[in-house]
Amino acid sequence: MITAGIDVGSVSTKVVLLVDNEIKYLVRPTGWSPRDAGEQTYHELLAQVGCKPENVAYRVGTGYGRISLGFIDKAVTEIHCHARGANYLVGRGGLVIDIGGQDSKAILINQQGKVIDFTMNDKCAAGTGRFLQVMAAALGVDVSELADLAAGRNPLEINSMCTVFAESEVISLLAKGADKRDIIAGIHRSVARRVWGMASRFMPAEQVIFTGGVARNHHIKDQLAREAGVPVIVPELSQVAGALGAALYARELAEKC
Protein backbone atom coordinates (compact mmCIF):
# COMPACT_ATOMS: atom_id res chain seq x y z
CA MET A 1 0.00 0.00 0.00
CA ILE A 2 1.13 3.56 -0.73
CA THR A 3 0.06 6.50 1.43
CA ALA A 4 1.15 10.12 1.46
CA GLY A 5 1.85 12.79 4.08
CA ILE A 6 2.11 16.41 2.99
CA ASP A 7 3.51 18.89 5.56
CA VAL A 8 3.28 22.46 4.29
CA GLY A 9 5.34 24.55 6.69
CA SER A 10 5.84 28.30 6.57
CA VAL A 11 9.33 27.91 5.14
CA SER A 12 9.53 24.45 3.58
CA THR A 13 7.14 21.84 2.29
CA LYS A 14 7.85 18.20 3.09
CA VAL A 15 6.19 15.24 1.39
CA VAL A 16 6.57 11.61 2.45
CA LEU A 17 5.37 8.62 0.46
CA LEU A 18 5.11 5.49 2.54
CA VAL A 19 5.58 2.65 0.07
CA ASP A 20 4.80 -0.32 2.31
CA ASN A 21 7.48 0.33 4.94
CA GLU A 22 9.82 2.33 2.77
CA ILE A 23 10.03 6.08 3.30
CA LYS A 24 10.43 8.27 0.20
CA TYR A 25 10.57 11.99 0.78
CA LEU A 26 11.10 15.38 -0.82
CA VAL A 27 11.63 18.84 0.68
CA ARG A 28 11.00 22.07 -1.24
CA PRO A 29 10.72 25.74 -0.24
CA THR A 30 7.11 26.78 0.37
CA GLY A 31 7.47 30.19 -1.26
CA TRP A 32 4.44 32.45 -1.63
CA SER A 33 1.80 29.82 -2.35
CA PRO A 34 1.36 26.99 0.18
CA ARG A 35 -1.24 25.44 -2.12
CA ASP A 36 1.11 25.24 -5.12
CA ALA A 37 4.05 24.15 -2.98
CA GLY A 38 2.05 21.25 -1.53
CA GLU A 39 0.68 20.11 -4.85
CA GLN A 40 3.92 20.48 -6.84
CA THR A 41 6.13 18.82 -4.24
CA TYR A 42 3.66 15.94 -4.01
CA HIS A 43 3.57 15.39 -7.78
CA GLU A 44 7.33 15.78 -8.10
CA LEU A 45 7.87 13.03 -5.54
CA LEU A 46 5.28 10.80 -7.21
CA ALA A 47 7.15 11.21 -10.51
CA GLN A 48 10.52 10.48 -8.82
CA VAL A 49 9.17 7.33 -7.25
CA GLY A 50 7.33 6.36 -10.46
CA CYS A 51 3.95 6.17 -8.76
CA LYS A 52 0.66 7.22 -10.37
CA PRO A 53 -1.57 9.52 -8.27
CA GLU A 54 -4.42 6.96 -8.43
CA ASN A 55 -2.22 4.36 -6.73
CA VAL A 56 -1.96 6.41 -3.54
CA ALA A 57 -4.49 4.94 -1.13
CA TYR A 58 -4.79 7.94 1.21
CA ARG A 59 -3.36 11.44 1.62
CA VAL A 60 -3.08 13.36 4.89
CA GLY A 61 -2.11 17.03 4.99
CA THR A 62 -0.53 18.85 7.93
CA GLY A 63 1.39 22.02 8.75
CA TYR A 64 0.14 25.60 8.60
CA GLY A 65 -0.66 25.32 4.87
CA ARG A 66 -2.78 22.16 5.17
CA ILE A 67 -6.03 24.10 4.93
CA SER A 68 -5.20 25.29 1.42
CA LEU A 69 -4.55 21.80 0.01
CA GLY A 70 -7.40 20.67 -2.24
CA PHE A 71 -6.22 17.14 -3.03
CA ILE A 72 -5.87 15.63 0.44
CA ASP A 73 -8.33 13.20 2.05
CA LYS A 74 -7.89 14.56 5.56
CA ALA A 75 -6.05 17.23 7.51
CA VAL A 76 -4.39 16.40 10.84
CA THR A 77 -2.73 18.93 13.20
CA GLU A 78 1.07 19.31 13.20
CA ILE A 79 1.20 18.31 16.84
CA HIS A 80 -0.25 14.86 16.21
CA CYS A 81 1.72 14.29 13.02
CA HIS A 82 5.01 15.35 14.60
CA ALA A 83 4.42 13.15 17.63
CA ARG A 84 3.59 10.16 15.45
CA GLY A 85 6.52 10.69 13.08
CA ALA A 86 9.09 11.31 15.81
CA ASN A 87 7.94 8.21 17.68
CA TYR A 88 8.22 6.10 14.54
CA LEU A 89 11.73 7.38 13.81
CA VAL A 90 13.16 6.70 17.26
CA GLY A 91 10.89 3.84 18.36
CA ARG A 92 10.11 5.31 21.78
CA GLY A 93 8.57 8.16 23.75
CA GLY A 94 10.07 11.30 25.22
CA LEU A 95 9.94 15.03 24.81
CA VAL A 96 9.75 16.01 21.15
CA ILE A 97 11.18 19.46 20.47
CA ASP A 98 10.54 20.71 16.97
CA ILE A 99 12.13 23.96 15.82
CA GLY A 100 10.93 25.05 12.43
CA GLY A 101 11.45 28.08 10.24
CA GLN A 102 8.86 30.20 12.04
CA ASP A 103 7.68 28.26 15.05
CA SER A 104 8.71 25.87 17.77
CA LYS A 105 6.83 23.13 19.57
CA ALA A 106 7.35 20.89 22.58
CA ILE A 107 5.32 17.69 22.66
CA LEU A 108 5.46 15.08 25.40
CA ILE A 109 4.69 11.66 23.91
CA ASN A 110 4.37 8.20 25.42
CA GLN A 111 6.07 5.03 24.15
CA GLN A 112 3.30 4.56 21.57
CA GLY A 113 3.64 8.08 20.18
CA LYS A 114 0.46 9.35 21.80
CA VAL A 115 0.43 13.04 22.73
CA ILE A 116 0.37 13.50 26.52
CA ASP A 117 0.75 17.27 26.50
CA PHE A 118 2.16 19.99 24.27
CA THR A 119 2.86 23.68 23.86
CA MET A 120 3.91 25.77 20.91
CA ASN A 121 5.13 29.21 19.90
CA ASP A 122 4.26 30.67 16.53
CA LYS A 123 3.84 34.27 17.65
CA CYS A 124 7.41 35.27 18.45
CA ALA A 125 10.39 34.86 16.12
CA ALA A 126 12.75 34.21 19.05
CA GLY A 127 13.60 30.54 19.44
CA THR A 128 12.72 29.73 15.83
CA GLY A 129 14.63 29.36 12.57
CA ARG A 130 13.79 32.96 11.80
CA PHE A 131 15.91 34.14 14.70
CA LEU A 132 18.87 32.30 13.17
CA GLN A 133 18.17 33.81 9.74
CA VAL A 134 18.12 37.35 11.11
CA MET A 135 21.36 36.78 13.01
CA ALA A 136 23.08 35.09 10.06
CA ALA A 137 22.17 38.08 7.88
CA ALA A 138 23.51 40.51 10.50
CA LEU A 139 26.78 38.55 10.62
CA GLY A 140 27.04 38.12 6.85
CA VAL A 141 27.14 34.31 6.93
CA ASP A 142 24.82 31.62 5.62
CA VAL A 143 22.49 29.83 8.04
CA SER A 144 23.95 26.49 6.94
CA GLU A 145 27.44 27.57 8.10
CA LEU A 146 26.39 28.56 11.62
CA ALA A 147 26.83 25.18 13.35
CA ASP A 148 30.37 24.58 12.13
CA LEU A 149 31.42 28.15 12.91
CA ALA A 150 30.19 27.88 16.49
CA ALA A 151 31.49 24.42 17.31
CA GLY A 152 33.86 24.45 20.28
CA ARG A 153 33.63 28.21 20.83
CA ASN A 154 32.81 30.19 23.98
CA PRO A 155 29.22 31.42 23.77
CA LEU A 156 29.04 35.17 24.37
CA GLU A 157 26.13 36.39 26.47
CA ILE A 158 23.20 37.69 24.42
CA ASN A 159 20.97 39.38 26.99
CA SER A 160 17.84 40.04 24.93
CA MET A 161 15.53 37.19 24.00
CA CYS A 162 13.78 39.43 21.45
CA THR A 163 15.09 38.94 17.92
CA VAL A 164 15.13 42.68 17.24
CA PHE A 165 16.98 43.64 20.42
CA ALA A 166 19.33 40.65 20.13
CA GLU A 167 20.21 41.72 16.58
CA SER A 168 21.27 45.12 17.93
CA GLU A 169 23.36 43.39 20.58
CA VAL A 170 25.06 41.26 17.93
CA ILE A 171 25.85 44.32 15.82
CA SER A 172 27.20 46.08 18.88
CA LEU A 173 29.35 43.05 19.83
CA LEU A 174 30.77 43.01 16.30
CA ALA A 175 31.53 46.73 16.52
CA LYS A 176 33.38 46.10 19.80
CA GLY A 177 35.56 43.54 18.02
CA ALA A 178 34.06 40.37 19.52
CA ASP A 179 34.84 37.10 17.74
CA LYS A 180 32.15 36.22 15.23
CA ARG A 181 32.30 32.54 16.17
CA ASP A 182 31.80 33.24 19.87
CA ILE A 183 28.85 35.47 18.95
CA ILE A 184 27.32 32.64 16.91
CA ALA A 185 27.82 30.24 19.82
CA GLY A 186 25.97 32.77 21.99
CA ILE A 187 23.16 33.00 19.43
CA HIS A 188 22.77 29.22 19.50
CA ARG A 189 22.66 29.17 23.25
CA SER A 190 19.97 31.87 23.13
CA VAL A 191 17.83 29.68 20.85
CA ALA A 192 18.36 26.63 23.07
CA ARG A 193 17.49 28.60 26.22
CA ARG A 194 14.42 30.16 24.75
CA VAL A 195 13.06 26.83 23.53
CA TRP A 196 14.01 25.08 26.74
CA GLY A 197 12.19 27.79 28.70
CA MET A 198 9.05 26.66 26.91
CA ALA A 199 9.75 22.89 26.91
CA SER A 200 11.20 22.26 30.38
CA ARG A 201 7.78 22.20 32.03
CA PHE A 202 7.33 18.72 30.54
CA MET A 203 10.33 17.27 32.32
CA PRO A 204 11.25 14.72 33.55
CA ALA A 205 11.51 12.83 30.26
CA GLU A 206 14.13 10.22 29.46
CA GLN A 207 15.24 11.88 26.27
CA VAL A 208 14.62 14.78 23.97
CA ILE A 209 13.79 13.95 20.36
CA PHE A 210 14.86 16.98 18.35
CA THR A 211 13.15 17.54 14.99
CA GLY A 212 12.43 20.31 12.48
CA GLY A 213 14.76 22.15 10.12
CA VAL A 214 16.83 23.61 12.97
CA ALA A 215 17.64 20.09 14.28
CA ARG A 216 20.22 19.83 11.49
CA ASN A 217 22.28 22.40 13.44
CA HIS A 218 24.49 20.14 15.58
CA HIS A 219 25.69 22.98 17.76
CA ILE A 220 22.14 23.88 18.81
CA LYS A 221 21.62 20.19 19.53
CA ASP A 222 24.62 20.31 21.91
CA GLN A 223 23.37 23.49 23.60
CA LEU A 224 19.93 21.93 24.01
CA ALA A 225 21.51 18.86 25.62
CA ARG A 226 23.30 21.16 28.08
CA GLU A 227 20.02 22.82 29.02
CA ALA A 228 18.06 19.59 29.19
CA GLY A 229 20.58 17.41 31.01
CA VAL A 230 19.26 14.34 29.18
CA PRO A 231 20.34 12.88 25.81
CA VAL A 232 19.10 14.75 22.75
CA ILE A 233 18.44 12.47 19.78
CA VAL A 234 18.22 13.84 16.26
CA PRO A 235 16.71 11.11 14.07
CA GLU A 236 18.10 10.90 10.58
CA LEU A 237 14.89 12.04 8.89
CA SER A 238 14.10 14.62 11.57
CA GLN A 239 13.16 17.29 9.04
CA VAL A 240 10.30 15.18 7.64
CA ALA A 241 8.92 13.91 10.97
CA GLY A 242 5.65 15.77 10.47
CA ALA A 243 5.13 14.55 6.91
CA LEU A 244 6.03 11.02 7.97
CA GLY A 245 3.51 11.17 10.81
CA ALA A 246 0.90 12.34 8.30
CA ALA A 247 1.72 9.39 6.00
CA LEU A 248 1.42 7.02 8.96
CA TYR A 249 -2.01 8.47 9.81
CA ALA A 250 -2.91 8.07 6.14
CA ARG A 251 -1.99 4.39 6.29
CA GLU A 252 -4.06 3.84 9.40
CA LEU A 253 -7.04 5.60 7.85
CA ALA A 254 -6.67 3.73 4.55
CA GLU A 255 -6.69 0.42 6.43
CA LYS A 256 -9.93 1.40 8.14
CA CYS A 257 -11.63 2.21 4.81
Footprint on this chain of its own copies (rule: CB under 8 A): 32, 102, 123-125, 130-131, 134, 160-165, 172
3-state secondary structure of 199: helix
Q: Of these partners, ligand SF4, its own copies, none, which one is at the site of residue 102 (CB under 5 to 8 Å by kind)?
A: its own copies
Q: Where are the alpha helices (DSSP H) in the chain?
A: 34-49, 78-90, 129-139, 146-150, 163-175, 180-199, 218-228, 241-256
| Nearest CB to ligand SF4, comparing residues 104 and 223 | 104
Backbone torsions φ then ψ of 226, nearest 5 degrees: -60, -45
Chosen residue from 27, 49, 124, 230 binding ligand SF4 by CB under 6 A: 124
Nearer to ligand SF4, 137 or 162 (CB): 162
Number of residues that bind ligand SF4 (CB under 6 A): 6
- Smallest gap from Cβ 126 to its own copies, in A, equals 9
Q: Are 213 and 29 spatial neighbours (Cβ–Cβ below 8 Å)?
A: no
Between 134 and 234, name the residue whose CB sits nearer to its own copies. Answer: 134
- The region of 12-20, 99-107, 120-128, 173-181 touching ligand SF4 under the rule CB under 6 A is 120-128
**Binds 181, which of ligand SF4, its own copies, none (CB < 5 to 8 A, cut-off by type)?**
none
Residues 6+ apart with CB under 8 A from 95: 106, 107, 108, 109, 199, 202, 203, 205, 207, 208, 209, 228
Q: Which does 14 bind (CB under 5 to 8 A by kind): its own copies, ligand SF4, none?
A: none
- Please give the residues from 125 up to 184 whose contact with ligand SF4 meets the rule CB under 6 A: 125-126, 162-164
Q: Strands of 232-233's sheet, edge to edge?
A: 115-121, 104-109, 94-99, 208-211, 232-233
Using CA atoms, how far apart are residues 36 and 59, in angstroms rounded to an integer?
Answer: 16
Residue ranges in contact with ligand SF4 by CB under 6 A: 124-126, 162-164
